[in-house]
Amino acid sequence: MTTPDTQRPRSGSDILRTALRRNVGAMAGGTLLMGMYQAGETAFPIALGLIVEHTMRDRSLGALGLSIAVLAVIITTVSLSWRFGMRILQKANTTEAHRWRVKVAACGLQPVARDVDLKSGEVLTIATEDADQTADIIEVVPLLISSLVAVVVAAVALGLADIRLGLLVIVGTVAILSCLSVLSKRIGTSTQEQQARVARAGAKVADLITGLRPLHGFGGNHAAFRSYREVSTEAKVQAITVAKVNGAYAGTALALNAVLAGAVTLTAGWLAFDGRISIGELVMAVGLAQFIMEPLKLFSEMPKYVMMARASAERMALVLTAPPVMTPGSERPAESADVEIDCVRYGTLRKLKFQVSAGEFVAIAAYQPRTAADLASILAVNVPPGTYEGTVRVGGRDLADLSVEAVREHVLVNPYDGEIFAGTLRSNIDPSGTSRMVPEAVEASMLTDVVALHREGLDYGVRDRGANLSGGQRQRLSLARALAADSDVLVLHDPTTAVDAVTEQLIARNVAKLRRGRTTIVLTSSPALLDAADRVLVLDDGVVTAEDTHRNLLAKDESYCSAVAR
C-alpha cells in the first residue's frame, strides 16, 4: 500500500504539506523552544519594569539580589532555548532538503515524456537551490509562531498596564502584515521567474560544456557564447528585479516596525506624563517597544519566505509530476534472451521487422544514421511504446507489459556517446563495485594500454566527462563498462568510431569471444564488427533490405559493399 510520503506530489502545496507533516515532531520541539526564546526576550523588559517598580518601593540588597537572579534565569533561558531550538530546526531543515534533493535527482534520472521541457541544467538547479528553499518551510513556521508568541506576550503585558497600549500593538501588527502581504505575493512571482531563468542559464551552460569540442570544430563557439550571454543577462535582470522587491519589502517592514515602536513609546510617555501608568510600567513599555522590533521584523518577513518556499516547491513539482516515458508494467522478461521487432513504425523506421535469437551476435548496418538512433532509442525505452506502431518483445514479453527496471536489468543499450564521470577508471567501468567481469571487459575493449600507461592502473583518476582522456580512450572506457555489466541482452551503438582500424579489429574479435552465448546486437558500419557477427541485417529507408553474413553481402550486394567498405 502506498503511504502519503511515497505518493507522488501533484503540486507545490502537496510538497510543502508533505514536508511539514513528516517533520511535525521536530517542528513542535523547535516551536516550543523558540517560543521560550521569544517569550524570554519579551520578558526581559517586563522584568526590568517590575524591578524598577519594586526597587523604588523596597530599597534593599535582597531585592537587588532577587532581581539579578531573575534576570540571570531569563538570560539563561533565552540563550539555551535559542541554541537547542535552532539546532533542532536546522537539522530537520537540512534532512528535509536532502530528502527532496534525492527525490528530484531520482526523478531526473528516469526518462520522462518528451512533452516535458526539462533540461539537465534545470533539474540540477531544482535539485539544489529549490530543494533547499522548499525545506526552509521547516524553520519558517516555528519562527512565525514564536514571533507571534512574542507579539502576544508584549500586547498582553502592555494591555495590563493600559489597554490602549495593548490594542496599539495588536492593531499595528495587523496593519503591518496587511501592507506587507501585497509585496510578499509579488516576491513569490518574481522569485519563481528568477529561478526559471537561472535554471535555463544552467541548462545552457550544460549544453555548451557537452558540445564544446564540436562547437570549436566548426567555429560556432562564439555564437553559442553570445546565446548564453543573452540567457544569463535575462537571469541577471530578473535577479535585480527580485533584489529591488526584496529591498522594498525589507525597507517597508523596517519602517513600519519603527513607526509602531515609536508610537508605543510616545503613547507610553504620554500616559506616564498624565499619571495613568507608573514609572516601572513606562520603563517596561519603552523596553518592549525596543525588543518587539526583532519579533515584529521576523514576523513580517515570514510571509516572504513562505512565498519563496512555495515558488521553489512549484518548480520541484515540475520534475516530480513529470509523466514517465511509459506506464510501468508488472511483468518481467522470460529467461529466454531473444529480441523481436514486429512491424515497428517510428521516426525513420518503416514497418521494421526482425528477430534476434537468444545467444546470437547480430550486427545491424543502417545506411541512415538516424535509423540506428531511432532503433536504439526504442530498445533503451527512451521512447514510450504508445508513441510507435508495432510491438517490441524482449524474452517473449511485450515491452509495454514490462517495467522499465525489469527491461534495464535484462537489456543494456550502450549509446555511442556514453557519458564518462569524474572518478577513476575502475569506478567508470564498475560503478556499483559488484561486477566480476572487470578484467575481461578491460581486455576485450582494448583498454589495457590506458591501464598500463599509469602507475595507478584502474585507480587512475578520470576528470569530469573524461577531459584527460582522448576520444578513443573515452569510447573504449564506455565499451568496457557495457561489457562489465554482463547483461542478458547487450545493444552497442557505434562502439568503435573513434578507434583506429587495428584496434577496432581486435575489439571486434574480443567482443564476439566475450559475448559468446549471450545475445548481442551491434548497430555499426564497422567492417570488423560486421565480420565478427553471426549475421548482418541491412537497414535501408527504415526496413530490412538484406540479411546474410558480412562476407556474403560483400560478395553479392554492391550497395552494401560501397556503404561499409573502407
What pLDDT shows up at residue 7?
57
Burial 243-274 (b: 16+ CB within 10 A, else e): eebbeebbebbeebbeebbebbbebbeebbee
DSSP string, 401-417: GB-HHHHHHHEEEE-TT
Position 117 scores a pLDDT of 55
Total residue count of the chain as it appears in this document:
566
The amino acid at residue 167 is L
Cα 43–Cα 45–Cα 51 angle in degrees, nearest 5: 100
Residue 393, strand partner residues: 340, 398
HSE, CB side, 13 Å, CA atoms: give it for residue 30: 24
124-163 pLDDT tens trace: 677 777 888 889 889 888 888 888 888 888 888 888 888 8
Could you list the mean pLDDT of each consecutive 10-residue stretch along the chain, which spans 566 residues?
Answer: 52 87 92 87 78 66 72 86 92 92 79 54 72 88 84 83 85 78 66 63 60 51 69 76 76 81 85 81 78 72 77 82 63 76 93 94 94 92 84 87 81 86 92 91 93 92 86 92 93 92 94 94 94 95 94 91 80
Q: Is the dihedral of CA 461, 467, 468, 469 positive or negative?
A: positive
pLDDT (0 to 100) of residue 187: 64
Q: Provide the pLDDT for residue 114.
A: 46
Chain centroid to CA 204: 17
At residue 460, φ and ψ (nearest 5 deg) are -65, 135
How much is the pLDDT for 191?
64
Q: CATH code for 339-564?
A: 3.40.50.300
Of 112, 136, 137, the C-alpha closest to 318 is 112
Query: What is the C-alpha end-to-end distance of the chain, expressed in Å?
Result: 59
12-320 sits in which CATH class? mainly alpha
Parts of the chain belonging to CATH 3.40.50.300: 339-564
| Dihedral, 427, 430, 433, 438 alpha carbons, nearest 10 | -120
Model confidence over 514-535: pLDDT tens digits? 999 999 999 999 999 999 999 9
> What are the Cα distances from residue 390, in Å, to 125, 234, 551?
38, 45, 31
- CA distances for 120 relative to 9, 200, 202, angstroms: 21, 10, 8
Number of C-beta neighbours around residue 359 at 10 A: 16
Residues of the chain with CATH 1.20.1560.10: 12-320
Q: What proportions of the chain, in percent to the nearest 5, are helix, strand and coil?
A: 65, 10, 20
CA distance 516 to 361: 8
